[in-house]
Amino acid sequence: MTRPAIARTLTRDPAAALRLLAGGTALALAGLLVAGQARAQADLIQAHGYSYYGDLSYPADFNHFSYVNPDAPVGGEYSEFASGTFDSMNPYSRRGRAGRYSWAIYESLLETGGPFGDSAPADVYGEYYCMLCESLEYPPTKDWVIFHLRPEARFSDGTPVTAADVVFTHNLFLEQGLPSYSEAVRQRITSAEALDEHTVRFDFAPDISRRSLIDQVGATPVFSQAWFEETGARLDEPRFETSPGSGPYVLDSYEVNRRITYRRNPDYWGWDLPQNQGRHNFETIRVEYFSDDAVAFEAFKTGEYTFRAEGNSRQWSIGYDFPAVTNGWVVREEIPDGNPPTPTGFVFNLARPALQDMRVRDAITMAYNFEWTNQQLQYGLMGRRYSFSQGTDLEATGVPEGAELALLESLGDLVPADLLTETAYVPPESSADNLQDRRNLRRANRLLEEAGWVVGDDGLRRNEAGEQLTIEFPYASSGSATAEAIIESFLDNLRAMGINAIGQRIDPAQYTERERNRDYDMILDGYVAFLDTGTGLHQRFGSEAASYSLFNPAGLASPLVDRIIDISLMAESPEERDTALRVLDRVLRYERFMVPLWYSPNQWFAYWDVYRHPEEIPQFSAGTMDWWWYDADRAAELRSTGALR
């Protein structure tokens, strides 16, 4: 056995290692190893949570997150709507359309967010606190991590959560998970081992960034090995039967394509944990399904469901004039969104030959008239989105200077020359008075002609081979009328440019299949905004899985983007990291792989007056399903008047 092997054995089982040694020289070596182990143990970082730089805002003995009401009453129901259909309650399947929040019953080693998608903790960024684990330890090099599980942790069927379950789940995702996830994990995590019933160790690949390794394995949901082995269920297949989770809610009932109900688990093992105080206050969470947004809105008016996150600007402006609002039964509230805008847009499928020419993408981008759309269809409520870190210190501005310029220059021929001299890309402004901005359309037409797409006698553009420039744009029939109008106005401008633009309104199930199979030329989709680096940036923007990743709907594959992400991952200081991320924002915008759309600086909520929340809302989440609570007295009043059923 080599010295490194003996040392690893000594770290895990000193007695076993010493038995491998014999003779005086061996004993001397053992002494040296014991001394080395003592030094290594002294250097180990042991904590109740994790952040990359080791700083945690909440101490080990904290009582509750600072923004919650620890005395919030428990009970009542939160109900909202979903558009479309569902045919599975397995959120990890490669096929089918999973029911909303079907992941909510599972927990992970580290708390990475509320069960229904809210950030947790919501007042800090990049900090993760122990959930199924009670502590973790790792060396300063972050070459490995050991999690110590809470002995009291239980699945909803009463069976204990063990280290074996953690390892089983890890391997299950590798074998049956989405390829875009499993391939990335396989390259970064070399082993997962249960050291005993409540201790699990992960080892990481050498010579890669230590970013997004500990938090990645800590964020993976944990499944019951016994349940999967007893039922023979697969992770990659749609099914309605759910494995037991360990979270505060369990699946209560469902009616396919009509509703799903989750119920607070009175036997949940973790009610006394400090991070759960003042949270998970609703007795039930109900999701009502409707064929489209218009039908759903009418149901909200009558109280069929009671909470609505409004995404339709027209509706927010003029739709809330029904009696329940006038009578004060329905509350409208705008809560500032402290996150950078989600990078949604009309995404190009870069696998299409015609769209691989940046001039074509540039021209098509000019067909989107944000100013007219905002005034005519969105009531002037929106801002123009353009950056992947908009409104933060990571947003690229102006021409590259200082450290940003130095980084770009260090990359040599990977960097296009104009990237060094041009300002960070912002889409051109358009006229708010006319949908067809003549100036931008003239510029767009010139670009298309330069790219070889010429208008024929029939008004359509063709290349030298006689092929039409065609754009097929599918969108789900369950979306809002406003979204459909915005898409169609964009397509009208494309048609005015001689492009054969085809909008395809299809049912949600068909839309999901086409989205997964990249069966589109353009699609309304999104990426992620970033406030920090992580290996997830490679999954979203990198080349390694560009041909199939569901997280990269454009199929962006740029060696320059790959290199900048790597630089951000290997940064030795926050300043170096931030420089790399500003350059990344600049380069992503330069690539023109999506037409940036709009954003609202506020979140719009309408709800029947039965919900309450703390006065101060934290920066990173509104927490509507996480730390709001139900006012039973007010609900009784509304029922007594006949306002609510």
Domains of the chain and CATH, by start = 3-43 (no CATH), 344-599 (3.10.105.10)
What is the CB neighbour count within 10 angstroms for residue 109? 30
Between residues 548 and 223, the one the model is more confident about: 223
Query: Is the pLDDT reported for residue 14 higher than 90?
Result: no
Instruction: Check: CB of residue 361 under 8 Å from CB of residue 420.
Output: no
Which region among 181-185, 349-353, 458-462 has the lowest average model confidence (pLDDT)? 181-185
Whole-number Cα distances in Å, 120 to 37, 154, 286, 621: 36, 21, 21, 8
Note the pLDDT tens digit of each residue in 496-540: 999 999 999 999 889 989 998 999 999 999 999 999 998 889 989
What is the CB neighbour count within 10 angstroms for residue 371? 16
Per-residue confidence at 22, pLDDT binned at 50, 70, 90? very low
| pTM over 0.75, yes/no | yes
Average pLDDT over residues 255-282: 97
Residue type present at position 46: Q
Note the pLDDT tens digit of each residue in 137-152: 999 999 999 999 999 9
Average pLDDT over residues 381-399: 96
What is the 3 state secondary structure string of 283-335? CEEEEEEECCHHHHHHHHHCCCCCEEEECCHHHHHHHCCCHHHHCCCEEEEEE
Listed in sequence order, the residues at least 6 apart from 70 whose beta carbon sits closer than 8 Å to its beta carbon are 63, 64, 277, 278
Instruction: Check: CB of residue 421 under 8 Å from CB of residue 399.
Output: yes
Average pLDDT over residues 387-402: 96
Percent above pLDDT 70 for the chain:
93
Give the H/E segment covering residue 149: strand 144-149
β-pair type (133-138, 45-47): antiparallel
104 CB-side CA count, 13 A: 28
Listed in sequence order, the residues at least 6 apart from 576 whose beta carbon sits closer than 8 Å to its beta carbon are none
Note the pLDDT tens digit of each residue in 152-207: 999 999 999 999 999 999 999 999 998 878 888 998 999 999 999 999 999 999 98
Percent above pLDDT 90 for the chain:
86
Query: Is the pLDDT reported for residue 578 higher than 70?
Result: yes
Residue type present at position 191: S
Note the pLDDT tens digit of each residue in 467-479: 999 999 999 998 8
The alpha carbon of 282 is separated from its chain's Cα centroid by a whole number of angstroms, namely: 24
Tokens of 541: 């923007």
Average pLDDT over residues 526-555: 91
Nearest to 323 by CA among 300, 346, 349, 353: 300
Give the H/E segment covering residue 144: strand 144-149
Distance CA 185, CA 217 (A): 9
Per-residue model confidence (pLDDT) at position 80: 98
Per-residue model confidence (pLDDT) at position 62: 97
Note the pLDDT tens digit of each residue in 289-333: 999 899 999 999 999 999 999 999 999 999 999 999 999 999 999
Whole-number Cα distances in Å, 211 to 53, 131, 532, 569, 577: 10, 21, 10, 6, 11
Query: Is the pLDDT reported for residue 363 higher than 70?
Result: yes
Per-residue model confidence (pLDDT) at position 41: 59
Which region among 11-25, 45-59, 154-168, 521-535 has the lowest average model confidence (pLDDT)? 11-25
Listed in sequence order, the residues at least 6 apart from 410 whose beta carbon sits closer than 8 Å to its beta carbon are none
Q: At which residue do the structure tokens 């895990």 appear?
A: 12
- Cα-Cα-Cα-Cα dihedral of 180, 184, 190, 192, to 10°? -50
| Maximum distance among all Cα pairs of the chain, rounded to whole angstroms | 95
Strands (E), 481-566: 500-506, 522-526
Query: Is the pLDDT reported for residue 15 higher than 80?
Result: no
Per-residue confidence at 42, pLDDT binned at 50, 70, 90? low
Handedness of CA 359, 363, 368, 369 (dihedral sign): positive
Note the pLDDT tens digit of each residue in 597-630: 999 999 999 999 999 999 999 999 999 999 999 9
Note the pLDDT tens digit of each residue in 73-95: 999 999 999 998 999 999 999 88
